[in-house]
Chains A and B, each alone.
Chain A
């Protein structure tokens, strides 16, 4: 039997903690890059490892070795701190998401879980954008400042729909804990299979709407097209990241990958039933499969559109996304009340 301390350490640092999440994040970057490349009729990464699977790792190592420049005018402390924050915050949020239990092959539980951890995840998502804003602002570069302002403006637009969309499943599950939401999904799936019930149809439809709203908002959170104006390469030269180089840029890139995993893990846990699946396959495999599908959905969307201007993004979000999400939450309330 593994002593509890050791088991906790393994959970945090090896599985399903740091090492597992980081390698999965790099894998997701590769999947996303390869998939977008194929959509665009390119080959994508090819040379490092099998079909370029090690390319994200190679990029990170390369960036670690590069010269690290801090601009003279930058606020040095904040400038150095923010890449760490952008990297650490999404990693922290993933700890709240159930992946796999260490002791039981068929069990799953988050590393940390308590009533209200969904709110913490939402809070962390906002703090990530705040760190992005500070990162751009502290670099004292004009393009950086424009990018930072755009990131903050964008947050004003998508944060409320995102919060509302995520609260939907929580209302059905009558719990603000991600773990319990997953359990509710497992339970209701079980109930539905044993005794089919017409009430399941509106619930499933509403969850699908929530999934769509959530996906759109997460595209903006991840700064993927069509919402990549904070780092618009051709306009403002990579926006808030423009002054970052070397180790710091490496951390930012890794942070972006982890954010991609966090986004797909959230979609998976809240709408797709998390790590649950038919019996012979362990939860972690289901989790990986479902998150990979979410990564594909996100990168597919990012290859399909042109970049929207920031004012178009704000207008569209307040005109369509926010009212839609309010209608959605009203419907959720009514259906949940009827159940």
Chain B
């Protein structure tokens, strides 16, 4: 380390990070020279927990991987199980799942926009956006009964139906959302202090985005029009007219534009779903004690933050033998480090928030001994003892 450089730790506890994660920055004055991420402060052992529970119980565990994109995780999980069962879900259920997924995307993107405004110190915008986000939260509550963990998708379909007489009301709420989002897009594109903090900040080139495996809006902000909903359509995304949004400036401002425009797309998809909701049953029954045939499956879902991958392995019992989750934030961390290098300290929060990180979804625990090229895992008791030894 040079004479003028020193390190600052952002996290595990820092006001810019809503979840515990550690980034060690080497800074020279106000410039960031290097960054080293350290994940693993919020590991909850969800995958292991899933291996000890039945498929129906797992619905509720997998939903709690993430507080914001809970529906994406559940959709991904149910798709996996349905593939193993060879089960085709009713059309109406597919439309309702898409509706939920897009409403979730609207709520997640608006939440992100508010957080981004807060990170650059524009609290007024933050409060306004979060106030208007309540519209979509109310809508989700009315449809599913819950504001955050909707518990809508279930194995074989969805849990609750959408009442036909409520649809005009929902369409009106979508109009409100669209109008307010237009207003915020206008503010972000014209307010000088916002532009000063977002334009050209946290640049990621198209080549780096592909090389470092960026996913989701972060990737699309760097000019790669890649979206799981278009690349390998699941549910009914191939029947619904919509566009993949991408901008090629690769900075925080492009991230803002991608998310705002995706919100518009999502509003349109929701409208289409509500207007073209097919009739029929909403689920085929799967017994709570049901067993799943032997096999393995992978399912991809475009969560609000990007590509979500779930892998399942079944040995023919009522519990999964192995379950593996790759949340989008994990894919985005190398790209994030690239974005942070060479920037200002003042830009750390907005660039960090720019990928819309969700660290508790990401955290995992594998022990690696680099010298001997060895990997191993520990059980709870060993881990506890290891912790006691470590902090002695």
Q: Hey, which bits of chain A sit against chain B, CB under 8 A? A: 39-42, 142-143, 146, 225-226, 228-229, 232-237, 303-312
List B5-62 residues whose CB lies under 8 Å from chain A. Answer: 6-8, 14-16, 30
Rounded to whole angstroms, the CA-CA distance of A186 and B95 in the bound complex is 74
B15 contacts A312, CB within 8 Å? no
Contacts of A312 in B (CB 8 A): 196
Given A143-B8, A226-B121, A233-B15: A309 in contact with B191 (beta carbons within 8 A): no
B residues with a Cβ closer than 8 A to A are: 6-8, 14-16, 30, 117-125, 127-128, 131, 191, 193-194, 196-197, 344-349
Minimum CB–CB distance for B351 against chain A, Å: 11
Q: Is the CB of A309 within 8 A of B117?
A: no
Cross-chain contact A235 with B16 (CB below 8 angstroms): yes
Contact in complex: B127, A309 (CB < 8 Å): no
28 residue pairs from A and B, CB less than 8 Å apart: A40-B123, A40-B128, A41-B128, A143-B8, A146-B8, A146-B30, A225-B121, A226-B121, A232-B121, A233-B121, A234-B16, A234-B118, A234-B121, A234-B349, A235-B16, A235-B345, A235-B348, A237-B14, A303-B123, A304-B124, A306-B117, A306-B125, A307-B193, A308-B196, A309-B196, A309-B197, A309-B346, A311-B344
- Cross-chain contact B131 with A310 (CB below 8 angstroms): no
Residues of A within 8 A of B121 (CB): 225-226, 228, 232-234, 306-307
A233-B118 Cα distance, complex, nearest whole Å? 10
In the A-B complex, the 4 residue pairs with the closest CB atoms: A307-B121, A306-B122, A306-B193, A40-B127
B128 and A226 within 8 A (CB): no
Shortest beta-carbon distance, B188 to chain A, in Å?
Answer: 10
Is B14 touching A309 in the complex (CB atoms < 8 A)?
A: no
Q: Is the CB of A226 within 8 A of B193?
A: yes
How far apart are the CA atoms of A308 and B30 in the complex, in Å?
14
Option from B8, B14, B30, B349 in Cβ contact (under 8 Å) with A311: B30
The interface centre, meaning the residue of B127, B346, B348 with most chain A CB atoms within 10 A of its CB, is B346
Contact check: which of A42, A226, A228, A236 meets B345 at CB < 8 Å? A236
Minimum C-beta distance from A305 to chain B (A) = 5
Our pick among B8, B131, B197 for the contact of A307 (Cβ within 8 Å) is B197
Interfacial chain B residues near A235, Cβ < 8 Å: 16, 345-346, 348-349
Indicate whether A142 sits within 8 Å of B196 (C-beta atoms), given known contacts A40-B128, A237-B15, A309-B346.
Answer: no
> Residues of B contacting A236 with CB < 8 Å?
345
